[in-house]
A and B are shown apart, each in its own frame.
Chain A
């Protein structure tokens, strides 16, 4: 049994008897693997007496759940009202152009996954972004460049692109 199967099975075993088990199972798998492999979906469906369509419908509704591994870094830009008022549209255009990807996509080198979120709870200091687990306020395009330069200096070369996440 691969890790992936073991993780899926454990997540199912931990939650299957609870009411509304689907979301906790999806979270448990994503917390460990960083994504929910499509091959896990039939097992989850079977265990919960649901169908693959049922699980897919829920997974795809929440942007939080991924069906493929994210990049090494996840960059989220807030698109909610306060940040819009502080210029997040300009920031997102700049960032997308610089990275060459749209929202919910990962750069070709597997480095960064760009996401849109609605509110990071940091409204007083917008536009706000979150880079991995770090919340950063008052991000101008220039500051974004520095942030991205910062992670680009991480020794990428020793890590192969892609991989199982």
Chain B
């Protein structure tokens, strides 16, 4: 099925829940529907299609187009079916002669101010209006086309992905309502009145200059060609579609990839998607151009040394070269001298295979994943307290929350589709509390009460969460029944004594956190007295020296207030990358086999050993930072990196680069020549999410299917490459399809026991644990007990980071993301999303700027004790004084040249969120940046087999 609006399935108005059922008759047919349902929806459910333009079931009924007129016995006139609720015994006729005549007349008026060619059906367009013209049987317009009209209106093509042609607009408000109700941005309006009414963005701005965030909900909602994807204009309509899962953030939106042969024409969010319900963001819907970008690597390449040009070779030669080198290293330096890094962007099956290759093929546990540098504290902290390394809820659960606490996360930018859902709930009246140094956009949710902002100093999370728990405990806001039934009493008493100490009170911690005590008390009381209070957190929690402590502090607060185990509550890490939950689940960590089963447990090892036919090392292997240190020491010499760019994303870039330079064999498997690949000896071209089958697991533990829509550009899916490498190394793998890999995962992982491709295809998606007890998965975790039996309160002593501001480095740098770019930017930088964010900038408070004579747009040097870099300054009120902020989407920004080696005490997750820096006005990029630029030119020249360095492009 093509197109997102299908009259056959779109019932016109949203479903209504009611305990009362109403029976009515439509066109002689008896229909029973919940009370409050519209006549239009009731008719649709009975298989009767009433023509409509302004109605769609993703939006509330509006009643503006007047096309859905019907006759209702005993009622005067012809009411609109979309805005008329059903009533017991009602008799509706949808097809009387009068109704048909009226509809034709309404349509005739629309068409009198519409380009005449739309009167006839065309295959060129997917304009719904044309379908309705045919449905009502309009053939000519008696008024002609000469009267006043809007046909000369100017097209707004300012947005890189879609255009707005007012000449084709019927002012039905569907776009305006989609922007309001679905996206929650309220960037569109109807300006003027009467004949002059037109759709306008913000203050009649071009779309690109307006408040529009380019989510595309308006384009999807438009029933005409007024709002239309440029790809459709340029390439025509798609001819088939493939249901798949977005490869950007951890929301994991379901999409229909609409294809024309092997070309992807557009991505349309799937109404049936359990994570996104038909919505998407600018990245998922529009930013897919990278998948076929000319920069894609399509041929395997090898070289003996990183100062040499690359040599294009066949797959066999490349794999052979890699295997020989790895074997030689192990022969000379021992079994432990090589390792692998799994990708949080590849599928579960591919990630599983890499860690299996390391454990079974390399014969060690030197496997890690990029979750090391993002959510490893989540895995650790939640496992220690709640017993499972994952978020407890579905996204939909937030619609039942009364208080929503967001800590160190910026959902409108990093998890936009979930942010739209939160905003919907806030507009319904839920209360928002935000703990973040910056005033994030969620605090400015249009048409919702302003949230309560706790602007804490970076690095003081634990002091803040302890203070909140202190208020809960000392003011008697605990949920004693929950604690008695569900939590370990000794651990609770220990924690209670600890947290009750006066030194944790908001008044005592105020000077440390910077959050006024009364405001913190208010937040704690709101949280403690809410019916349903939920916590959503991001990397602002985990990427600290006390990341794991903070995660446990969050779990403590949720348990103490009884906010675990039902809809509307819970502890919810917002995972960054599409499959970072999955890569953790799949045994990527050096100490855990798939399903978080510790390698030290003999029975666990035994089951894998039986299945894999090898002996598994009973010692945990090296973490990424250990691998890098060992590389510099000369003990670690070979690394296989699957789709991750540690040279850009990991902290202290110069240290990472030195480590990579020390390796004898670096194998990089990626879509592009990324920063890490510049230090590689073997380049294995990876495949995009459009080119393979598999599964991604999103932040709500939802396993979604990824389905192949086009042939891999380089000929192989990533799992096939890993399999070839394994075979070349002498450990045989013979999978013919990723579903066989999932079958193996299910066989060996208790929480995945019931998972299969067949079941996911049947159910749409599955939230793990999926086993005999929960054969269709587990939407809400910990409903009756915890996997560890009783919940364990953890004593969370606040230990300030050693990274403090001082006279030499008086400011604190924190890092984050923005909407249009994703992670290291390898994908989004190769799309037209650069329109919004062509470079990383440094945000700083006006006072800090003034003190240093810095004005908006100046070059500023940012220096920490590790290094320095240069960015353009943006003077911004959203920053608190003393805190500066940047993103790391562009390699040349060198954001990680300045971040330090500090890391979480339990998991080594880097302290990206706190770096003491000085900022000053400068006139040119830093030395590192100048060197980086020269190296970058050299390495790109090597790619074409050339030694010469090209002139500046």
> Which A residues form the contact surface with B (CB < 8 A)?
38, 41, 46, 49-57, 60-61
Contact = CB atoms under 8 A, between A and B. Distances in A.
B445 A52 contact: no
B192 A51 contact: no
Given A41-B203, A60-B191, A53 B445 contact: no
Given A38-B203, A52-B202, 16 more contacts: A46-B444, A49-B448, A49-B449, A51-B211, A52-B203, A52-B210, A53-B186, A53-B188, A53-B201, A56-B191, A56-B203, A60-B189, A60-B193, A60-B200, A60-B204, A61-B191
10 contacts: A49-B448, A51-B202, A52-B203, A52-B210, A53-B189, A53-B201, A55-B203, A60-B189, A60-B193, A61-B192
Contacts of B733: none
Interface of B: 185-193, 200-204, 210-211, 444-450
B191 A57 contact: yes
Name, among A38, A50, A52, A61, the residue most crowded by chain B CB atoms within 10 Å (CB to CB): A52
Nearest to B194: A61
A61 B189 CA distance: 11
Contact of A56 (B200, B444, B447, B450): B200
B191 A50 contact: no
A57 B446 CA distance: 15
Given A60-B191, A60-B192, A53 B447 contact: no
B158 to A, nearest CB: 16
A1 to B, nearest CB: 15
Contacts of B188: 53
A50 B189 contact: no
B202 A49 contact: no
B446 A51 contact: yes
Contact of A54 (B210, B445, B446): B446
Nearest to B189: A57
Nearest to B202: A52
Given A41-B203, A56-B202, A56-B203, A49 B191 contact: no
A49 B189 contact: no
B502 to A, nearest CB: 38
Contacts of B210: 52-53
B189 A56 contact: yes
Contact of A53 (B203, B444, B449): B203
A75 B192 CA distance: 21
B192 A53 contact: no
A123 to B, nearest CB: 22
A52 B210 CA distance: 9
A49 B447 contact: yes
A60 B202 CA distance: 12
B193 A51 contact: no
Name, among B185, B201, B203, B211, the residue most crowded by chain A CB atoms within 10 Å (CB to CB): B203
A139 to B, nearest CB: 25
Nearest to B188: A53
A137 B185 CA distance: 48
Contacts of A50: 186, 446-447
Contacts of B201: 53
A41 B204 CA distance: 12
B218 to A, nearest CB: 12
Contacts of B450: 49
Given A49-B445, A51-B186, A56 B211 contact: no
A54 B189 contact: yes
A84 B200 CA distance: 32
Name, among A51, A52, A54, A57, the residue most crowded by chain B CB atoms within 10 Å (CB to CB): A51
A155 to B, nearest CB: 37
Given A49-B450, A50-B446, A51-B446, A56 B190 contact: no
Contacts of A57: 189-191, 200
A54 B185 CA distance: 10
A22 to B, nearest CB: 12
A54 B188 CA distance: 8
Contacts of A49: 444-450
Contacts of B185: 51
Contacts of A51: 185-187, 202, 211, 446
Contacts of B191: 56-57, 60-61
A61 B193 contact: yes
B721 to A, nearest CB: 48
A60 B448 CA distance: 24
A14 B334 CA distance: 77
A53 B187 contact: yes
A54 B176 CA distance: 10
Contacts of A56: 189, 191, 200, 202-204
B421 to A, nearest CB: 19
A55 B445 CA distance: 15
A56 B192 CA distance: 9
Nearest to A41: B203
B202 A53 contact: yes
B193 A53 contact: no
B709 to A, nearest CB: 36
Contacts of B202: 51-53, 56
Name, among B185, B200, B445, B446, the residue most crowded by chain A CB atoms within 10 Å (CB to CB): B446
A51 B445 CA distance: 9
A112 to B, nearest CB: 22
B211 A52 contact: yes
B203 to A, nearest CB: 4
A48 to B, nearest CB: 9
Nearest to B191: A60
B618 to A, nearest CB: 58
Name, among B185, B189, B190, the residue most crowded by chain A CB atoms within 10 Å (CB to CB): B189
Contacts of A52: 202-203, 210-211
Contacts of A41: 203
B181 to A, nearest CB: 14
A57 B191 CA distance: 5
A60 B447 CA distance: 20
A83 to B, nearest CB: 18
Contacts of B211: 51-53
A62 to B, nearest CB: 8
Contacts of B203: 38, 41, 52-53, 55-56
A52 B450 CA distance: 17
B171 to A, nearest CB: 12
